[in-house]
A and B are shown apart, each in its own frame.
Chain A
Amino acid sequence: MPPKRPRRQGIACDAAARPCRLCRCGRLLRGAAAKHELESESGDDSRRRSSMRLFRHELRSQMRLYGRSRELAFFTFALPLIMFFLLGSVYGNDRIKSEGNVRGADYLLAGMLGYGAIATGFAGLSIMLVIRRESGILKRVRATPLPAWAYVVALLCTTLIAFSLEAICMIAIGRIFFHTHVHNLFSLALALVLGAAAFTALGLALTVLIKSSEGSSAVVNAIYLPVSFLSGAFFSPHSFPSALKAIANALPLVYMIRLVRDIAIHNQQIWNRPGDVAVIAAWGLAGAIIAARRFRWEPQEG
């Protein structure tokens, strides 16, 4: 993920000097300074410990930042819950004939969990990251001793934690207001984590395509709202024209929602649905590969 740094090139190097290997501090060690390497004999251990400390620090910081950003929290966290409440009030008690006569609220809950995953993992994360990249925050963080992985993983964990809370709220709202019932909580949790992880990877990849903060919410909304609609997050896509269904079937959200429905409504387990799992994982992997190769820490504008 960090821009590739060339290995030592053209460094002034005398014969006695050698790079400090233990702590990779980049110092060239000569004579007395070579003691530095010896002193940090447990360098690997202490490095690992300090990496973990940095990671925990960053995770706390990112959670606070997520909570502080009201627009982001509303847009990705509250909006799917509100939509669930509104749509559930509209057709929660109806039976959906085209979908095996399931109750509207049960059907909708699965769609809204998918919508929550794409809103939080994909839309929210990519908008936030583009804004941070374009304002130079990511570049500034790269100049500190915080390892790149710690920043990215803390951000992904924050996103997953936010989505987990959202999913719990969603399931609670369903139970309290619409008498929904979900089966197989363990399988369901795995399916939700898989879906959310895939969308966060795609969210990271999407930042590669967006060049400016101003454009970020426009581009992101233009992608994730139609995708949610086509994938049947809001209501059954049964009566959609076949061309639209074909588009939806090429995208990951349809598979995630179907997987969640099969588990929560039709009492299936995630391991009985390897096809859906494979499609979601493949999209996530593609996103992760693009992100790993093309993710930028520096502003792309100007």
Chain B
Amino acid sequence: MTPVVSVRGLTKSYGDFKALKGVDFEIRAGEVFGLLGPNGAGKTTTIEILEGYRRRDAGEVEVLGADPAAAGLDWRGRIGVVLQSSAMYENLTVAEQLAQFAGYYEHPRPVDDVIELIGLEEKRDTRARRLSGGQRRRLDLGLALIGDPELIFLDEPTTGFDPGARRRAWETIRSLSGLGKTILLTTHYLDEVEQLADRVAVLREGRIVASGTVQELVGGAPATEIRYRRNGEVVVVETDEPTRVLHELTEAAIQRGEELDGLEVRRPSLEEVYLSLTQAEPE
């Protein structure tokens, strides 16, 4: 199947600063793809090249079968964009705002369907300036969705949210995915990709340093860690055979009649994988 997005050897510099140093990835139809990385890794540059806002220096980019740098108005009707900061007319109500943007598309989704999808039924006739940060972000999602696009770009959709607002935004994003939309999501939150993404690419200093499903990323990581305290000192054992090692440790302790203080068995979390990937010394 042809990928919805395909990026090969993408580079981009701002003056002397090389923002992207050869980025490759593909996004398949219907998946939620997470582009994960710390601030300044090149996430927004990448997504804005795919959206057609920025020109690339080199590389091949195809989005929905077209080059975003040369694509026309009909192509724009097939994508939905949520920018990093919310952008809307402050003096329009939720419904008016959606109706205004709906008018730009050939086959928009009905305004009330979208309002339901983003969970703003009670704010239908409230002007944007009176919405909370989380409600504005959901309206942002609604505006990206109103044209019934095939592909939706979400640039850091929950940055700066309180936990409740993030959870509601996640639910909305999941429901978009449930509609069969392909979604490209950038974020620097790990739990966000764990919650939402089918596949992840980790971007560091303009390069993809790892990619795959969340499972694969964690699976390719260092071994299981067993920690306990002995005579006040923390002992850490890393092993690929946690069952056997743990059994030996506990058996020995029982024979000695000791308690293993602070015993912990941990699989490396995505967070640790991510930190080990993004904090490695630059070559």
Q: Which residues of A contact B (CB under 8 A)?
A: 5-12, 23-28, 50, 54, 57-58, 61, 64-65, 68-69, 135-137, 139-140, 142-147, 298
Contacts and interface: CB of A to CB of B under 8 A. Distances in A.
A23 B103 contact: no
A165 B101 CA distance: 27
Given A57-B103, A68-B92, A136-B83, A144 B147 contact: yes
Contact of A143 (B51, B74, B85): B51
Contacts, number: 110
Interface size class, chain B? 35 or more
B69 to A, nearest CB: 5
B60 interface: yes
B143 A140 contact: yes
A24 B74 contact: yes
B268 interface: no
Interface in B47-67: 51-53, 55, 58-60, 62, 64-67
Contacts of B147: 144-145
B269 interface: no
Given A142-B53, A147-B73, A26 B91 contact: no
Interface in B128-182: 143, 147
Interface of B: 6, 51-53, 55, 58-60, 62, 64-67, 69-77, 79, 81, 83, 85-89, 91-92, 96, 100-101, 103-106, 143, 147
A7 B76 contact: no
A26 B74 contact: yes
A26 B88 contact: no
A147 B77 CA distance: 11
Given A5-B70, A139-B53, A25 B75 contact: yes
B65 A144 contact: no
Contacts of B87: 135-137, 139-140
Contacts of B69: 5-6, 8-9
A142 B54 CA distance: 12
Contacts of A68: 91-92
A23 B62 CA distance: 19
B196 to A, nearest CB: 22
A58 B102 CA distance: 11
Contacts of B62: 11-12
A5 B77 CA distance: 17
Contacts of B64: 27
Contacts of A12: 6, 60, 62
